[in-house]
A and B are shown apart, each in its own frame.
Chain A
């Protein structure tokens, strides 16, 4: 398996623009997680899915953020409109379980909002 795949790897956009981040989890993993990493706050969980269903989105910072998982092999994280404070590295991870099990992280998307 190729591991968790994320695209794009780097995104530079201007404030107010819509940004869409994409993730393909490892086949057979029932759980998918979206994290945001910044120097100030570290690695924060934004939302996670179980069998394509959003289970906990309490980490989503604002209504500007939304996430979908239309099928078992694809998920998106959308920011609309984007703001400079959204600049961070966004990781997608997948796992067989919500916890007590290894999470496999994708390479991340480095987002810069000017």
Chain B
């Protein structure tokens, strides 16, 4: 089943913070986060694995609550370059399954 993302859209001024949530009704093994700029391909941001291992880059962080089957992406001191649509992709708890992506959260950072 498709994970649910919230909010659907958010508008920020440069330097402000934002949180994007991803929730699943199924037990999860991992959660992936991607960012897609308009007219471009999705680009990998971060993966969070069951058991607490975290990978990522840039100045964006995320958490993964396995019991609640939820993940949150934290964008602090947002930059103009953060604008885009953020997708979470979830992997079922059995592992070795394909990703199911949410519908995305559109983020616009203005000067």
Contacts and interface: CB of A to CB of B under 8 A. Distances in A.
B96 A99 contact: yes
A100 B43 contact: no
Interface stretch (B13-21, B58-66, B101-109): B101-109
13 contacts: A42-B87, A42-B103, A45-B100, A98-B98, A99-B30, A99-B96, A99-B97, A100-B30, A101-B47, A103-B44, A103-B99, A105-B41, A107-B40
Interface residues of B, number: 23
Contacts of B96: 98-100
Contacts of B97: 98-99
Contacts of A104: 44
Contacts of A98: 96-98
A14 interface: no
A41 B29 CA distance: 23
Interface of A: 4, 33, 41-45, 48, 56, 91, 98-108
Nearest to B46: A102
A108 B42 CA distance: 10
A43 B101 contact: yes
A99 B43 contact: no
Interface string B26-52: 000110100000001111100101000
Contact of A99 (B40, B98, B103): B98
Contacts of A108: 41
B111 interface: no
B2 interface: yes
Contacts of A103: 32, 44, 99
B77 to A, nearest CB: 25
Contact of A100 (B29, B40, B42, B44): B29
B41 A91 contact: yes
Nearest to A104: B44
A95 B96 CA distance: 13
A101 B91 CA distance: 11
